[in-house]
Structure 1
Amino acid sequence: MKPSASFINTSRAGLVEPGALLAAIQAGRPGRAGIDVFENEPMTSPDDLLAHHPNVTATPHIGFVTDDELDMQFADIYEQVTAYADDAPIHMINPVVWKNR
């Protein structure tokens, strides 16, 4: 892919060979990526190089859900954003980073 291209994967991580997207992004081809699926799920590693790459936008994958499930998800998201705004984040993968800031 050319450096100005964007790679978007909102389908399945298994469509891309393990490690290939990270290698391509690090080589600058494509120049950026947007993903909501990961080789290892759930995403729990604070050291995941792909999720932390500056040219990657990583978001949670939300497929079809019921209205009740959507309400629960957004309530949980709101709770996390509010806690962060109150300087007391919750459900952190790597709380040590927050303590050492």
Structure 2
Amino acid sequence: MTDNLRRYVAQSQGPHRWDGTAGHTDASTVCAQAERAIAYFGNRLGVEYRTRIESALREVRGALMNHDLRLAGQRAEVLKTVLQEAGGVQNA
């Protein structure tokens, strides 16, 4: 019984461990912001920024679907940066 428990713990602490909902929630929140930006600003974003946002959004969603929170967090940071850049263009 103890050996099985040790194996389970060792397997669950691999690089793709699903650590709970904190990282998932953060990445999901950024995805929701991106989706709202696309829906609200639509064509006013311009083709370049819309494409960059959609691409970064796909990368975050893909990492979340693979339960890789570390990668999802990294991709969410990229998505945040793209959203900020697009927001700067909108405010100019």
TM over 0.5: no
Specify the structure having the higher radius of gyration (Cα).
2
Give the structure with the higher percent helix: 2
TM-score (norm 2): 0.32
TM-score (norm 1): 0.30
Give the structure with the higher percent strand: 1
